Amino acid sequence: MNFANEYRAKLRTPDQAVQVVKSGDWVDYCMGLGQPVLLDEALARRKHELQDVKIRCALALTPRQVVEADPERAAFTYTSWHFSGYDRKLHDRGLCDFVPMIYRNKPLYYRNDLAVDVAMVAVAPMDKQGFFNFSLSNSATKAILETAKTIIVEVNECLPYAFGGSEECVHISEVDFIVEAGAMKLPTMAAAMPDAVDEIVARLIVDDIVDGSTIQLGIGGMPNAVGSMIAESDVKNLGMHTEMLVDAYLTMYEKGKLTNKCKTVDKGKGAWTFCVGTQALYDWVDHNPFLASKPVDYTNDPCVIAQIDNFVSVNNCVEVDLYGQISSESSGPRQISGTGGQLDFVTGAYQSRGGKSYICFRSSFEDKKSGQKASRVVPTLPTAGIATVPRTQVHYLVTEWGKVNLAGCSTWERAEKIISIAHPDFRDELIAQAQQLNIWRRSNKR
């Protein structure tokens, strides 16, 4: 086949390509750095022509023009699988709706249940075999395109080419329209700089990591601090299996700690499903056979994770109650982020031989409304609070005051352990609340 001729035949301007969208359609923007920019702008320009266009997205890293141009939501209804800071602000203004999910199930949602009339995805330039690479956002992209009635790719010359384990590309024969974006600079996200509290928590976790462990790091200052401390430690021959590829892995690699040599699955390869970070991280991804882009129903499958010996999962949370329920995505009814893959990795890591999962958090914070210090350990999750990880799945909890293992513990043991790592200023109050909840031993002399 002459792919160059087919490419030219399918080439459109952004305004031409979005003419395929009709009132009432479901449009999918994919996620993260796989989201279109020029197509989004062109679709926004049609706001006076359209009604009831529903748009699915996830982790928007730049403003979505379909929202900015239509704050009345007269034409476009914008939803997100996982909130970025931008999505969260939109949600607070009533301009973005949340789609609950367990991340590993996202491809199944599309293949089994969801309708997609038009899919728009940013891709790397076509290779000589006629394939467009999904670059920094494998995730559920292939499943979305398989479901879509019409596929439009937006080619960005700045997107790196990510070698894949599977489902990392789409062939031109499957694409309906092509839009060229030129060399459009990618949004970056600098790693959060760890402070003293982050470093204390990181040390408690790093002390448990053995040579040959495989590491999953979530987003945020504490997981980044763990990665940075690993890079400076004596631990050797670490592996990478993660949903989010972050700069901490590059740091570990540059320090000679990340080799993937001891992995019992994908030996020699660092598996990941999406990437957000610095330009240096994106450059590391480009044509790098050390890394393998995989769909999220592989990277986040607890059955796959469980096959990897000494798996270590490190993630953040917002608050934890005395029963051990973890909220990592909401503050009461206010949605902050999403479940993501936290439950996937908590489950898989515990099933791994020698594996451990850590949920880490600061024991206290300053309440923005009152200006007073508040505890992240609460007696029960607040009304409408979301339990990201149920109490039955929690393994290790870590704060600057210590780490505790809740696996197999009774309700009173959980209460004792959790209070022991709460901020000291709140422990007496938490004990009194545990007594009211009947989860505190009467024989306990504290």
pLDDT for 443 equals 74
In the predicted model, what is the mean pLDDT of residues 28-54? 98
Residue 117 pLDDT > 90, yes or no?
A: yes
Q: How far apart are CA 14 and CA 31, in angstroms?
A: 19
In the predicted model, what is the mean pLDDT of residues 230-241? 95
- What's the whole-number average pLDDT of the chain? 95
In the predicted model, what is the mean pLDDT of residues 327-341? 91
CA nearest neighbour of 385 among 320, 305, 299: 320
In the predicted model, what is the mean pLDDT of residues 378-385? 92
Please report which confidence band the pLDDT of residue 445 belongs to, taking 50, 70 and 90 as the band edges: low
More confident residue, 124 or 331: 124
pTM: 0.95
- What pLDDT digit, counting tens, does each position of 255-310 carry? 999 999 999 999 999 999 999 999 999 999 999 999 999 999 999 999 999 999 99
pLDDT for 367 equals 84
| Domains in the chain: ranges and CATH | 3-182 (3.40.1080.10), 196-436 (3.40.1080.20)
Percent of the chain with pLDDT strictly greater than 70:
99
CB atoms within 10 A of CB 190: 8
CA nearest neighbour of 400 among 349, 365, 431: 365
Please state, in angstroms and as integers, the Cα–Cα distance from residue 21 to each residue in 62, 98, 110, following that order. Answer: 22, 23, 19
- What pLDDT digit, counting tens, does each position of 151-196 carry? 999 999 999 999 998 999 999 999 999 999 999 999 999 877 888 9
Residue 65 pLDDT > 90, yes or no?
A: yes
Q: Which residues are catalytic?
A: 243
Which of 191-200, 230-239, 334-343, 354-363 comes out lowest in average pLDDT? 191-200
Q: How far apart are CA 446 and CA 441, in angstroms?
A: 10
Report the half-sphere exposure of 64 (CA within 13 A, side-chain side): 36
> Residue 212: what are its φ and ψ, rounded to 5°?
85, 5
